[in-house]
């Protein structure tokens, strides 16, 4: 008994599916031939990848944020995902650099199969500034007599661990 497939299974496109005719042939010792045909219908892959990855939301102090590590952890959430019919590609819209200065970042991750069907999930990162700004070059307390001239305000430098811009004000 010999089985022959038309077309061969490897030639089918999983995205569009197709039909394979398997012909069974038996040849008797007297030269007689018996044939039967099996119709195998392969359905197209029209289902988006199932992922089961819930959206994530996290709040981190901006001075404790390692953006590269955070992003790698989010990407790793999709490791091990597979689909029955085709290979998967994972993409995201994460920026290459994130300053983390009291901002919110939403990254969309997309899981796409080779037929172009996709599913998405989101990871949201909130950063908080938990450390107050520091002041430098503040003059020491001074005691003056009533005849002394009050010195002008000093040039104070303010810095913040999460922001390049610090608003300064002077009040007497």
Which pLDDT belongs to residue 128?
Answer: 87
| 124, 138, 170 from 105: Cα distances, Å | 6, 36, 34
CB atoms near residue 36 (< 10 Å): 10
Alpha-carbon distances, residue 103 vs 60, 67, 92, 165 (angstroms): 10, 12, 19, 14
Helix, strand or coil, per DSSP, at residue 137: coil
pLDDT over 80 at 11, yes or no: yes
Q: Are 107 and 92 in contact (CB under 8 A)?
A: yes
Per-residue model confidence (pLDDT) at position 106: 96
pLDDT confidence of residue 144: 93
Q: Name the pLDDT band for 20 (thresholds 50, 70, 90).
A: very high
Higher-scoring residue by pLDDT: 38, 9 = 38
In this predicted model, which residue has the larger pLDDT, 168 or 126?
A: 126
Q: Give the pLDDT confidence of 25-40 residue by residue, as tens digits.
A: 999 999 999 999 999 9
Residue 10 to residue 7: CA distance in whole angstroms: 8
Q: What is the pLDDT of residue 34?
A: 94
Strand partners of residue 157: 136
- What pLDDT is stored for residue 56 in this prediction? 92
| pLDDT tens readout for residues 136-152 | 999 999 999 999 999 99
- Alpha-carbon distance of 82 to 88, in angstroms, equals 7
pLDDT tens digits, 53-79: 889 999 998 888 899 999 999 998 887
Q: What percent of the chain has pLDDT over 70?
A: 99
Residue 115: its pLDDT value, please?
A: 92
Around Cβ 56, how many Cβ atoms within 10 Å?
Answer: 15
Check residue 92 and give its pLDDT: 95
């Amino acid at each position: 008994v010999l089985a022959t497939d038309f077309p061969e299974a490897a030639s089918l496109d999983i995205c569009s599916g197709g039909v394979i005719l398997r012909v069974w042939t038996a040849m008797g010792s007297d030269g007689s031939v018996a044939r039967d045909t099996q119709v195998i219908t392969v359905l197209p892959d029209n289902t988006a990848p199932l992922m089961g990855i819930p959206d994530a939301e996290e709040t981190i102090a901006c001075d404790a944020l390692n953006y590269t590590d955070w992003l790698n952890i989010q990407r790793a959430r999709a490791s091990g995902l597979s689909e029955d019919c085709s290979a998967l590609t994972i993409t995201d819209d994460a920026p290459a650099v994130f300053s983390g200065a009291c901002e919110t970042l939403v990254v969309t991750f997309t899981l796409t199969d080779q037929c172009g069907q996709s599913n998405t999930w989101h990871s949201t990162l909130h950063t908080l500034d938990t450390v107050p700004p520091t002041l430098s070059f503040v003059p020491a307390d001074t005691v003056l007599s009533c005849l002394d001239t009050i010195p002008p305000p000093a040039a104070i430098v303010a810095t913040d661990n999460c922001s390049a811009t610090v608003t300064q004000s002077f009040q007497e």
